[in-house]
Structure 1
Amino acid sequence: MNTTFLLSATEQGVAWGDFIFYIVTFLILLALVKKFAWTPITDMMEKRATKISNDIDSAEQARQKAEELVEKRDLALKNSRSEASQIIDRAKKNGEQQKANIVSSAHEEVQTMKANAKKDIQQERQEALDSVKNDVAELSIEIASKIIRKELTADDQKALVDSYIEGLGKQNETR
């Protein structure tokens, strides 16, 4: 067809009817391409560009949220470490305080036990001395009464025994 048009245009002049037909057909073809091909393709491209733009924005927001979460996690980790360190320090202080309390109470208990033991020893010693004094006094009285029964009076015997007991008491106190 084109060949005929070109031949006819060169041999006889321009065939305006065919030319207009071709232009109208070309314009109709352009309109059809625009309506059925170009517009859907450009719409599809715009939708795709919008989707890509939205995806990029969403990815940027997700990245920012991830960075915020990382910062929060790091802060929480630092706080946890700090809190753990404080707990350990408090536990050490409490342990040291309990140790000091235990040592102090043990020391006080030992001192109390020593004082009680000294008191018990002193009491036992005094009881033993009193018992020995009584035994010695009785024994001395018996011996003295047998030996001196006829020569001393009862008051003289008692004075003699008392002085002897006092002498024994002074000897035991110096020990």
Structure 2
Amino acid sequence: MTAGDMLFTIVTFAVLMVLVGIFAWKPVTAIMAKRQEKIENDLDYADNARQEAKELAEKRQAELKNSKADAVKIVTTAKENGEKQRQELVSAAKAEADTLKATAHKDIAQERQDALTNAKNDVADLSLAIAKKIIGKELDADTQKELIDRYIKDLGDANGSH
């Protein structure tokens, strides 16, 4: 290589460097700066998104704890309401049973009284028929009542109930 070739190569290299500096270096550095800015923005966005995700996860965790507490509260309230209803049903059933029992006792007492009245009437009719046959005559109402009452009293004394 000769001195002229070397000089030509150096000048060509210098011109090429100036042209590259003018036409290529500025656009390449601008593209690189834009790319660096985009990467920094993406990293900032990723950090912000990660921070938001972390906050959202903490918020959901707190809501989950509150939901669990609410669920426990709802279950407890439901149990208490169920127990109250059970007690009300038992009380109502007991009151109804007591009412039925009292009504049954009253009905039994009334039936007993009706049976005693019917028995008394039957005894009175039978006594009158026997008295008519024995005495052979009709009795007036007062005499008849007196005989019946005495007979019933004697029956009560004989049974030991009077």
Structure 1-normalised TM-score?
Answer: 0.75
Partner of 1:59: 46
**SS at 2:76's partner residue?**
helix
Distance 1:68 1:169, change over 3 A: farther
User: What is the aligned residue count?
Assistant: 159
Identity score, percent: 54
RCO greater where, 1 or 2, for CA within 8 Å and sep 6 or more? Answer: 1
Q: Equivalent residue for 2:81?
A: 94
The correspondence of residues 20-35 of structure 1 with structure 2, limited to 5 A, is 28-35=15-22
Letter in 1 for 2:96: E
- Taking only aligned residues, the RMSD between alpha carbons, in angstroms, comes to 3.1
Task: Classify 1:62/1:165 alpha carbon distance in 2 versus 1 (closer, same or farther; 3 Å).
Answer: same
Structure 1's 126 and 73: CA in aligned 2 closer, same or farther, altered over 3 A?
same
Tell me the equivalent position of 1:11.
none
Higher Rg:
1
1:13 counterpart residue number: none
* TM-aligned CA distance change 1:140 to 1:54, over 3 Å: same
Provide the rounded CA distance (Å) in 1 between the counterparts of 2:109 and 2:159. Answer: 12
Cα drift, residue 23 of structure 1? 7.9
Match of 2:3 in 1: 4
| 1:117-172 residue CA offsets vs partner (Å, 9 max, x unmatched) | 0000000000000010011012112212322347xx75555423212224446788
Q: Of 94, 102, 106, which residue of structure 2 is paired with 1:115?
A: 102
TM-score w.r.t. the length of structure 2 is 0.81
Describe the superposition over 1:76-114 as per-residue Cα deviations: whole angstroms up to 9, x where unpaired.
222222222122111111111111111111111111111
User: In the alignment, is residue 125 of structure 1 matched against residue 116 of structure 2?
Assistant: no
